[in-house]
């Protein structure tokens, strides 16, 4: 099992290692194990340690578990197929008090590149977009069931697409006579809704609509809100709970709405004196990383360190 089999390059890897400062024997929770890129680098640094990997995607979790177990054979490595919004409950059940918590949000490149998962419009596939393939509701269901105004709001709020109303109108008109079931079909409708404006657009016109649908299908912003609330409760509490007294917590986000949530939570905790921010400004990828891995262009890393309570 090697990095090249994984189909995903971890973003800001050096910066994550620097800000989380993994030490031998640490307890580490990777809330978004993905293909185990960050996790295996951290695991190698803490081995022998205790590692808990979480992911909503069962295939990714399996891959990450095998990769991390191989690189850290003396560590205890467990995996739980779950939404990270339940991180506190899972960590308590596993009897873990984490020194390091990492969340690298969104999707991995192998998920994006797999046409059957329906995240991308470059190849045709079912309009699916579920991170957890055992969950019930897909993007096609959402496009079928939502009111036109709700589709417009979703594309506007989550995708920040100025032509959201035109796209929603096109979708609503089309679905009265044919179901919208594939990525290529939806991408074509978005392009038609853009009309001649598509020529002025730097991005493919469907980019924002697809991102918005993915966020909605997987309830990504509320999952992040719940995750951050759990972190905040844990660091505000006295003593060690599921987060240890010397914990470092890092979140990598790719969307301004996600980064805003992380920034506000970490700023509030820093104002209360329960954490210290490792950097005031988010850490972003340098030109060479962006050239090597264009996905890193929008990545923002924010890290906090828990401060010991004065008693």
Residue 174 in the binding site for ligand SAM (CB under 6 A) = no
Minimum CB–partner distance for residue 5 and ligand SAM (Å): 12
Q: Which helix (H) or strand (E) holds 251?
A: strand 243-253
Minimum CB–partner distance for residue 85 and ligand SAM (Å): 6
Residue 104 in the binding site for ligand SAM (CB under 6 A) = yes
By beta-carbon proximity to ligand SAM, the closer residue of 40 and 209 is 40
Alpha-carbon distance of 52 to 235, in angstroms, equals: 19
By beta-carbon proximity to ligand SAM, the closer residue of 43 and 54 is 54
By beta-carbon proximity to ligand SAM, the closer residue of 193 and 301 is 301
Residue 35 in the binding site for ligand SAM (CB under 6 A) = yes
What does DSSP say about strands 76-81 and 275-277: parallel, antiparallel, or unpaired? unpaired
Cα torsion at 70, 76, 82, 86 (round to 10°)?
-150
Residue 51 in the binding site for ligand SAM (CB under 6 A) = no
By beta-carbon proximity to ligand SAM, the closer residue of 60 and 183 is 60
For helices 37-46 and 13-20, the axis angle rounded to 10 degrees is 40
What does DSSP say about strands 300-306 and 243-253: parallel, antiparallel, or unpaired? antiparallel
By beta-carbon proximity to ligand SAM, the closer residue of 166 and 250 is 250
Residue 32 in the binding site for ligand SAM (CB under 6 A) = yes
Residue 8 in the binding site for ligand SAM (CB under 6 A) = yes
Residue 293 in the binding site for ligand SAM (CB under 6 A) = no
Please, which contacts does 118-123 make with residues 24 or more away whose CB atoms are closer than 8 Å?
118/182, 118/183, 119/210, 119/214, 120/183, 120/210, 121/183, 121/184, 121/186, 121/187, 121/204, 121/206, 121/210, 123/183
- Return residues touching ligand SAM (CB under 6 A): 8, 10, 32, 34-38, 54-57, 60, 83-84, 104, 106-108, 131, 223
């Amino acid at each position: 099992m090697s990095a090249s089999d994984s189909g995903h390059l971890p973003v800001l890897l050096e910066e994550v290692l620097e800000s989380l400062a993994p030490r031998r024997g640490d307890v580490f929770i990777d809330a978004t194990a993905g293909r185990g890129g960050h996790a295996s680098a951290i695991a190698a640094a803490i081995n022998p340690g205790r590692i808990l990997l979480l992911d909503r995607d069962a295939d990714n979790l399996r891959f990450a578990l095998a990769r991390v177990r191989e690189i850290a054979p003396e560590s205890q490595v467990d995996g739980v197929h779950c939404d990270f919004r339940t991180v506190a409950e899972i960590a308590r059940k596993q009897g873990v008090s984490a020194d390091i918590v990492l969340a690298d949000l969104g999707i991995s490149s192998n998920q994006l590149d797999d046409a059957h998962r329906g995240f991308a419009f470059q190849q045709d596939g079912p309009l699916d977009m579920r991170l957890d393939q055992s969950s019930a509701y897909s993007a096609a269901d959402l496009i079928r069931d939502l009111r036109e105004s709700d589709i417009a709001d979703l594309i506007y709020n989550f995708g920040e697409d100025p032509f959201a109303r035109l796209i929603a109108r096109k979708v609503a008109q089309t679905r009265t006579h044919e179901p919208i079931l594939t990525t290529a079909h939806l991408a074509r409708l978005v392009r038609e809704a853009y009309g001649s404006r598509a020529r002025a657009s730097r991005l493919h016109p469907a980019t924002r609509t697809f991102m918005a649908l993915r966020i909605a299908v997987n309830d990504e912003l509320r999952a992040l809100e719940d995750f951050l609330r759990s972190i905040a409760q844990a660091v505000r509490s006295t003593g060690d709970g599921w987060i240890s007294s010397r914990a470092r917590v890092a979140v990598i986000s790719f969307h301004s709405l996600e980064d805003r949530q992380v920034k506000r939570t970490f700023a509030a905790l820093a104002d209360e004196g329960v954490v210290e921010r490792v950097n005031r400004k988010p850490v972003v990828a340098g030109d060479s990383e962006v050239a090597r891995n264009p996905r890193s262009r929008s990545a923002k890393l924010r890290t906090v360190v828990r401060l010991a309570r004065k008693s």
